[in-house]
Amino acid sequence: MNEQRDHVAAILDAWRAERPALDVSPVAIFGRITRIERYQAAAMREVWRRHQIDSGEYDVLAALSRSGPGYRLTPTELYRSVLVSSATMTERLDRLERRGLIARQRAGRDRRSVLVELTPTGRAVFDRAHPDLLATEAALLDGLPPPDRSSLAKLLAKLAALLEQQEAAQADQRAITG
């Protein structure tokens, strides 16, 4: 079977010709991840446009939707879930609340604690956007057979776990050396 050529292959060939002693193998992975992300981002922009939300708002609606019946989380649970700062989360929650997609409520007796809850309108927006997102991403993978998709997903999970472990170890080291 012939290996398919892409833009990154041409870049690798050029570097190998110009600097044969230089190990450019990381470009074969990260160059492609970057290019794939550009295609995915362009496709997602269309999804967000169709549903009048942005990716950050979608992330919040998705986190609340997958939290289960009640569909509520604390702001801290939300920003940890979607990996943003508390300031960024506050900004997103303000926008979503103004649009009626979420509501903030005091959590029980602790007046300082707040719960963020998905409103029926927010649920409806998510329920329309989510299948559209999945279909759009599936279309990007159309030419890749299911066994290849599975292999790619496993390899990417392995890389992601490795990078997460390295990041955690570095954070631990920074905490120790302070």
Nearest-5° angle of CA 123, CA 127, CA 130?
A: 125
Q: Which residue has the higher pLDDT, 79 or 150?
A: 150
pLDDT value of residue 3: 65
CA distance 114 to 107: 5
CA distance 69 to 72: 8
The residue among 5, 4, 118, 106 whose CA lies nearest residue 59 is 118
Structure tokens at 157: 């999970």
Please provide the DSSP assignment of 123-157 as one string. Answer: HHHHHHHHHHHHHHHHHHTTTS-HHHHHHHHHHHH
State pLDDT tens for residues 151-174: 999 999 999 999 999 998 998 888
Cβ neighbours of 163 (radius 10 Å): 10
CA distance 123 to 119: 6
Task: Tell whether the model's pLDDT for residue 142 goes beyond 90.
Answer: yes
Identity of residue 156: L
pLDDT above 70: percentage of residues in the chain: 97
Task: Tell whether the model's pLDDT for residue 1 goes beyond 60.
Answer: no
CA distance 83 to 26: 25
Structure tokens at 152: 């790619």
Match 């269309």 to its residue by tokens: 46
Mean pLDDT, the chain, whole residue set:
93
State pLDDT tens for residues 74-127: 998 998 898 888 899 999 999 999 999 999 998 777 667 899 999 999 999 999
In the chain, what is the straight-line distance between the N-terminal and C-terminal CA atoms, in Å? 53
Strand pairing partners for 72? 117
Mean pLDDT, rounded, for 142-156: 97
Q: What is the largest CA-CA distance in the chain?
A: 69
